[in-house]
Structures are given as structure tokens and as C-alpha cells.
Amino acid sequence: MENSSSNNNTITHGYPSARKGWVLRGLRDGFPICMGYFAVAFALGIEARRIGLSAFQSFLMSTGMVASAGEFAALMLIESHAGVIEMITTCVIVNLRYFLMSCSLSQKLRPSLPLIHRFGVAYCITDEIFGLSSAVPGYLEPFYSYAITFISVAGWSGGTVMGVLVGNILPAAAVNALSVSLYGMFLAIIIPPAKKNRFIGILVAVSMAVSWIFSVLPLTKGISSGFKVIILTLLIAGAAAAINPVEEEPQENT
């Protein structure tokens, strides 16, 4: 079992040794996300300190939401003394794409998976974590997502707290260098399946092109990033499913 866990994704569900393998794999895969999150969250912490939030308050915000656009929007609302209803509504709209990601990722969960784990995986959804979790062949093992989330949220929350505590001490060049790891992680997710399947490669190229077009067209460039992701996902994924449907179901990783 040990010699197949790292390369072939053949770890048996439910056993402590299997879970340990998934956890170690998740920690390894999540490290680049942790580094990138730390850089972005550091800037978030600087902004949180500017409007008067403490390190503890910023830590709770980052640990509870784990969404850069949502948290920056929340900080602007806090600064403008917005009401609770307005703040909740805005954050839900900004983060609406995660509902779509949850629906997609739920199809990779074993039908017998307990409800508690389904809620746990739902918390473990960010753009980057969703990408890694979706790339796992077969059914998604929740402990893999938990491990990625643990190390990623540690970087996100830790970066926020450090931004509050030390402010602008860390050079901007160092922060920018850390954030590059996120782009490397995305490339690592996209390139392998694109090399194996030409249709996926074409789909990635089309998605990038259409996303750029949406960002420059007068009628669409004002759409929020969350709604833009939802629209493009529905359009492109729907077209791809119609053109090249996949009928096979996820198989147990045994």
C-alpha cells in the first residue's frame, strides 16, 4: 500500500494508514498555496490594522472566511460603518462562486460519505483548493482536502496576523515573490491533464481567452469576479459537456 499511495492514488479508504497517506499528500500539495496565501493575507492584515482591527479579530475573520475578495470587501464595509445585513449580503454575493464549486465537488464524494465530512469538505473550498481536489482521480478523500486546508488556512490566517503585527516591515518584493507560487500551483494543476487530453487543453485555452474578452468588453468588464466565474463556468462547462460528454462515474480508490 505504501509504495502506491504517492503516485497512483490507490490508498484504501477508512484505514488509519490510508488516511495518513492522504494527509501527507495534502500537506505536500498545499504548501505552495500556503506560501501564496501568506503573501496575499499579509497585505490584508496591513489593511485590517489600518481600519482598527486587532490581530485576534483579523485572525477570526481570515479563519472563518478564507476569501481574499470577500475579506477586502468586508474591511471596506467595516470602515464605512455598514450594517450587519449589508455586510453579510455583500460577502455572500462576492463569494457566490463557491456555491457552484461545492455543487461540482459534491459529485466527487462517495455516496456513503457521512454528512459531517460533506460539511467539512464544503468549508475546504477556495479557488486553489477546489482545483487540487478536483484533479484527484476517482472519489475525493476528505482527509486530503482537510490537509490542504489546514496548511493553506495556516498560511492565510498567519499572514493576516503578521500583517497586523508588523505592518510594512516585510519588503514588497518579498511579498510579491511569495505570491508567484500560486501561479506555479495552477500550472501544475492544468498542464498534466491538458497533456493527456487534447480536448482539455483546448478548453483551458478557450477559457483563458473568453475570460480576457469578458475583462475588456464594456458590457462585461464591470461584472464582479465571483459572478464572472459563475457565468463562464456555466457557459464553457455546459458547452464542453454537450460537445464531449463523459459518462464514467468516479471509482473507489482501492
The cell numbers describing 51, all together, are 481600519
How far apart CA 29 and CA 52 sit, in angstroms, is 35
Q: pLDDT tens-digit profile of 210-231?
A: 888 888 888 887 776 656 767 7
- Report which of residues 188 and 127 the model is more confident about: 127
Q: pLDDT tens-digit profile of 25-73?
A: 999 989 988 888 888 888 888 888 888 899 999 999 999 888 877 788 8
Q: What is the pLDDT of residue 60?
A: 92
Q: pLDDT tens-digit profile of 115-173?
A: 899 888 888 888 888 888 888 888 888 999 999 999 999 999 998 999 888 866 766 66
User: Which range in 32-41, 89-98, 153-162, 177-186 is most confidently predicted, on average pLDDT?
Assistant: 153-162
Q: Which of 21-25, 56-60, 208-212, 231-235 has the lowest mean pLDDT?
A: 231-235
User: String of b and e for 170-192 (b: at least 16 CB within 10 Å)?
Assistant: beeeebeebbebbeebbeebbee
CA torsion 27-55-78-167 (nearest 10°) is -90
Q: What is the pLDDT of residue 14?
A: 47
